[in-house]
Structure 1
């Protein structure tokens, strides 16, 4: 079969090429007709048939474009139709929890050391062999035994120290006897001084009398001399009066000499008194020295015995009878408290009250105030009882902040907090390490939600509130308050009872349709229960 036929050469010298007719294609065109006009038909249709034959190749190309366009339109329409169906029929599955109005607390924690409020480390003051330990029903004292105030618990061999005490007591006795003798000498010297002074007084009285007699004799001599000058007396009378005056003058001089002698005796007696008083003071010094030696010996003697300071319980006992005790074994552990507890002979505690001392960082410690609630909880309590009230109720030991040290430790930059434990103290052991939790902030009627109900976008807190009537969620910006162990306080933006999405928020937008898979009024550990 030929595809083309050659026409006569045209005016340009090119032959027209026409598509060759297929026998099969020509048959439908040559339709049989009952009208006998074959020649007319062929003559009229020949030019038109030749034009159509020249454009037949356009038809397949148009059909191809139409087919491709139709398929593309159908795919786009099917895709849009499919998306519309998914949006309407497949809302996002979420879990929700209802906001509650309940108490909330903000907790901080730190490792701390338990100590009895009243405790006493009992240690010997001297080295020596342990010769006595208190007896309990035929056995030596041990940990857990109760003791009574003033009871002798243990003793070291004290024979040498007892001898020192006896020696000091003897020295005191001797010094006191010497003092008594010296005091007698002082009294005798003072008596001599008093006698000398009395004698001087008597002699002075005699001196006054002698001077009076001398003055009288002088007056008589003057009177007689006048009479004698008048010629009324003899010379012998004048001589007699002169002798009386001389005798009176001699008497005055004699008495004055006695006074000087008596005053010298007073000086001698006073010197004796001074010497005796010096000896008395020396005796007092010897007594004081002996008393000091006695006190020192008695203190050392007391250091060989350990007495119960109050009614309590033996918490630690690290000695045995007949062992040798060295004070250096305890002093070497002063910087290590646990080591001290393992070396100190006996520790007695009052088990009625305990306290916990913990160091908190300065930034956290500034929030702690006396009177705030405290609990002792281990990791298991925290994992299983994250709810604030459950933590308090389940904690075996509870108390209050007793004191907050206003100073910051130079090395650790920490603030020391002391909590007095009031409930469950029977579960505490002196010297043990525990985790102390302090409620630094609390509110009794806060609107609280789980921690995972709040998301942050551009550093702003948001929640998604599910509306069960419309099946959609609303995105709300909220204002946060206290953060608890598994809850947050919502100050603004949420009311109690509203359902908040806790799972699936990252796929949500405001107004998105959702299907609530589970909704509860309670939550724990940050998840719906």
Structure 2
């Protein structure tokens, strides 16, 4: 007898077993993870290289091989000067005013003409004054004749008095008459001299040499004595002075040089300070300090032979106090930082070093360095705003030297460098 057995059957509600991941998904996941690791590693390497890179080699800090201007530190005579703004002032400005009135008959000058001292410039009708002179001369001659007659009579009276033939009173009266006539003759001579002077005043002459201005009265017009406007103005041009202000701190230096008897040379420059108008010498100082500006007025005299200086003209004055022998650099080479003045010195390896210096006397272009530099060194004059201590530079006129790419190092860089080298001959 056989027994029937039943095999167990799978339940219809049991979930299916999970499928194993495919090889494609495993490969893609590994690739993404590898890329992430490489990106993180590259970023870390770049940050490390960026940190180790010197500041001078970064963009914005001058970059390798920044082109700069340069100058050589040299021993050079440096003039210690005072620069100021001056006003040209003539030695004499004269308004020609008639001393007598009358009709202006002649004008013998041209406007703007340079005249000499004593030159005849104009004439006033002299006839009225010549008549007055003749009248004064006639009066003088008449009174001199009366005086002579009175003297003869006095001599006769004195002879009679010695013979006791006339009273002493008559002699004394005659003597008084002689004295009176002598006074009259003196008055007549003075009136004659005044009339002769008026005749001379009809000739208007130049009291000084100079440049005559524009005419204010034409011939034929009547002029009056001592008119306010006059007939012209003469300005003395040669020599001429320039007045300027000197800082009160410079007074000891100026007085010390004047005490030595040395002449202080002065230059008059134009508005742009590029053209020298004339050269002269310092004359004198005023006797007071202007409390408002802290300056003292000074005056310099110029020959002005070429008439380049004109009255009331504004000029730039440069007065030389003394000349010193010092190490000098251009003014643009010296910079000011938190710790004071400094310069960028260019080393032999074409890298700059920041070096503190002490300034001395200075001019518009050069400045003396009393400490910090030696003759023959190179300093940066242009392009220093982009530099830091240790930055490489290229001098103007030089060609940059080719080198490895920024960031390239190690055996590959060395191998690339060897590849770029030309084969030995």
Structure 2-normalised TM-score?
Answer: 0.68
Aligned to 1:129: 103
Alpha-carbon offset, residue 163 of structure 1: 2.8
Structure 1's 446 and 297: CA in aligned 2 closer, same or farther, altered over 3 A? farther
Give the 5 Å matches for 1:267-278: 268-269=167-168, 271-278=169-176
Aligned to 1:174: 142
Q: Report Cα offsets for 1:26-53 as digits up to 9, x if no partner.
A: x79xxxxxxxxxxxxxxxxxxxxxxxxx
Aligned to 1:210: none
Q: Report Cα offsets for 1:432-466 as digits up to 9, x if no partner.
A: 51404132334264322222222223473222222
CA contact (8 A) 1:103 1:442 kept: no
Structure 1's 118 and 361: CA in aligned 2 closer, same or farther, altered over 3 A? closer
Give the 5 Å matches for 1:236-255: none
Long gaps (5+) in structure 1: 1-20, 29-67, 135-140, 197-261, 332-342, 386-393, 521-529
- Mapped partners of 1:427, 1:285: distance in 2: 55
Range moving further from structure 2, 153-162 or 427-436: 427-436
- Mapped partners of 2:119, 2:390: distance in 1: 79
Alpha-carbon offset, residue 284 of structure 1: 2.5
Alpha-carbon offset, residue 416 of structure 1: 4.3
- Mapped partners of 1:163, 1:460: distance in 2: 86
* 3-state secondary structure, aligned to 1:161: helix
* 2:315 aligned with 1:435: yes
Give the 5 Å matches for 1:202-217: none
Aligned to 1:374: 266
* 2:186 aligned with 1:188: no
Q: Report Cα offsets for 1:84-104 as digits up to 9, x if no partner.
A: 235474573343322333343
Structure 1's 88 and 291: CA in aligned 2 closer, same or farther, altered over 3 A? closer
- Mapped partners of 1:469, 1:286: distance in 2: 106
1:324 paired residue among 217, 222, 231: 222
* 3-state secondary structure, aligned to 2:98: coil
Aligned to 1:452: 332
Structure 1's 361 and 329: CA in aligned 2 closer, same or farther, altered over 3 A? farther
Long gaps (5+) in structure 2: 1-14, 22-35, 399-425
CA contact (8 A) 2:151 2:178 kept: yes
Aligned to 1:345: 232
CA contact (8 A) 1:96 1:519 kept: no
1:305 paired residue among 199, 203, 207: 203
Structure 1's 454 and 76: CA in aligned 2 closer, same or farther, altered over 3 A? same
Q: Report Cα offsets for 1:171-202 as digits up to 9, x if no partner.
A: 32233223223323432343344334xxxxxx
How many pairs are equivalent?
357
RMSD of aligned alpha carbons: 4.1
